[in-house]
Amino acid sequence: MAPLDSTPGTKRTILHICPKFVLNSSQYRQVYLFVAFEGYNLLICSIITYRHRSARALPRKALWLADQIGKFQMMLKALAVTTIATGLCSMNAHSQQHIDNGSSVEGVTNPTPSPVESSVKPKWPKFNKMRFTEDYSKIGDAKHRDIFDSLKHIPLGDDPDWYLNIGGQVRVRFEDYQNFNFGSPAVNDDSYILQRYFLHGDFHLGENLRVFIEFRSSLVNDWDISNPMGSRPTSQFDEFDVQSIFFDYNFDLSDDLDARIRAGRFEMEYGAGRIIGCRNWSQIRRPFDGAALKLSNKSGWVEGFYANWVETALYDTFNDTDSDQMIWGVYGHLNASANPMPFNFEGYLIGKDNETGTKDEHRITVGGRIFNTIPDTNLSYDIEGAYQFDYSGTEVQAAMFSAELTYRMQGSSLKPWFTAGFDWASGDDDPTDSTIKTFEPVSGFGHFYFGYADQIGRQNIVSPWLRVGAKPMKKLTTSVEAHWFWVDEAADGIYAPSNNSSRRRAGSATAGEYIGFELDLVAKYKINHHMVLLAGFSHLWADEFIDDTTGGQGDVSRIYTQLQFTF
């Protein structure tokens, strides 16, 4: 690569387009383009996949062999993406470090920063999964770490309260499933690549008004798992859409009570995300169309909301509001410092109306959560419980409970932690009667709580689990998880982790209750504050409930590697 032009008084960005990295098989071709801006930690990966026309003429055995070779090559390419990204970022970071330290690059000496300049340590916010929760109002003239920091707090005039934040994210993930959903789909072994792109603008128009707009594109390459939507299921593919577009209006009700009105299309997450959560692992995160009012002070906050689901359409630029599904309610948080009890407390009452198809469900979920660190110990806990009932339509009687205890070992260079948890959500002992006893999260996510194979959801489930984590290196985090799964009621079934109304496998009153055991291995490497590399392996050993019920049989395996760039 050409040297970085660091001549004093010049600003120059050198664009490099690396040669095409192409691996061919008799059936597949994927083309990768790598684009790097030297001197800055940026990688853009474009993936093009297409099928040879000549593959149609090949014998079936040759096609099968070509398919296996193609899958293996796809994994190599995904590893190539991460390897090249790591090399580029390390090289650029090394060059930038020399510049920051006053060292020379290609014979040009840079002045050593003055003691005053060196003492400036900007407190830049961390990137959050819901980007509108980031606060850049206090960075002011903080020293920029790289070119992307200049996209934050862009002045919109002379008033310091008028500014713009620009940000986005590029995420590429390779996945390989073996025996997806215990082999129930006709095609259940598959390797594919997921791409997800975000770009947002956060306009602060004075002290009180803020407008946020975010665009998203979710793409999938070489998806073959059987699905009613064919090769582009709405759970994975949405070519281009407006993810968020809303306004906030902030004002004071008194000296110690703040208020915020929000209206438009926005995402929601409350507490630990068990009831309503941001499904960041998913290709298509769920936004809502509605409004919310939040009141807050030093003791805590309370928020009321009313919103509708948003339907996913493959090619619509602005997905439509789903008038058949809506949620409403109130969620409150009380800090431990303002609570007579020694813990943080959250309580909620949330209604969900679902009239899709023949459904006539009108559930109310009432629940609470307590969590804190036990004083003078390295132990922390998180306990949550909820009960569901109906206020109209079909009769509902359901509940859930979750608890976890974490111990963090101090004084060790590995910084290990140990978590033991338990999750229970009620099932229905008689799905044919008029009463629904299966708990249904309003819009929660299960990926973090029920194993990374993503076969189990928070419905009709009994699951103790263990998680052990450590940091072998400053930037490397590793974890091992073990999950045991039983159905609460054998007559009910197994439900999807994200689509809360989707029962993946019907049960049987005569079946055994033990679903199986899952082991998850995960490694996350933070290349820099923009780029994160993630890799993992999950295997679920199926047991008696799978053997005794109708559908596919056998264990489920998943391998994935993901590269994510955020700015």
Sign of the Cα pseudo-torsion (274, 276, 280, 281, in order): positive
Give 157: exposed, middle or buried? Use CB within 10 Å, 0-12, 13-18, 19+. exposed
Q: What is the pLDDT of residue 175?
A: 96
The residue among 382, 224, 196 whose CA lies nearest residue 281 is 196
Among the listed ranges 106-110, 286-290, 360-364, which one has the minimum average pLDDT value? 106-110
Q: Which residues contact 522 (CB under 8 A, 6 or more apart)?
A: 452, 478, 479, 480, 481, 534, 535, 536
**Residue of 8 and 406 predicted with greater confidence:** 406
Q: What is the pLDDT of residue 55?
A: 40
Among the listed ranges 74-83, 153-162, 189-198, 487-496, which one has the minimum average pLDDT value? 74-83
- Region of residue 16 (phi > 0: left; psi between -120 and 50: alpha; otherwise: beta): beta
Contact (Cβ atoms closer than 8 angstroms) between residue 352 and residue 363: yes
**15-19 mean pLDDT:** 36
Residue 424 has pLDDT above 80, yes or no: yes
Residue 99 has pLDDT above 50, yes or no: no
User: pTM score, two decimals?
Assistant: 0.78
In which band, very low, low, confident or very high, does the pLDDT at 210 lie, cut at 50, 70 and 90? Answer: very high
Q: What is the pLDDT of residue 244?
A: 96
Structure tokens at 430: 């008689």
In which band, very low, low, confident or very high, does the pLDDT at 183 lie, cut at 50, 70 and 90? Answer: confident
Question: What pairs with residue 308 in β-bridges?
Answer: 289, 326
Q: What is the pLDDT of residue 38?
A: 34
For 306-355, write each residue's pLDDT tens digit. Answer: 999 998 876 667 888 899 999 999 999 999 988 788 999 999 999 999 99
Averaged confidence pLDDT in the chain: 81
In which band, very low, low, confident or very high, does the pLDDT at 121 lie, cut at 50, 70 and 90? Answer: low
Most confident of 20-29, 121-130, 146-155: 146-155
**Residue of 104 and 453 predicted with greater confidence:** 453
For 456-502, write each residue's pLDDT tens digit. Answer: 999 999 999 999 999 999 999 999 999 999 999 999 999 988 766 67
Domain coordinates of the chain in residue numbers? 15-109, 131-323+391-566
Residue with token string 């606060």: 135
The domain 131-323+391-566 having CATH identifier 3.40.190.10: the answer here is no
The Cα 280–Cα 531 span in angstroms is 16
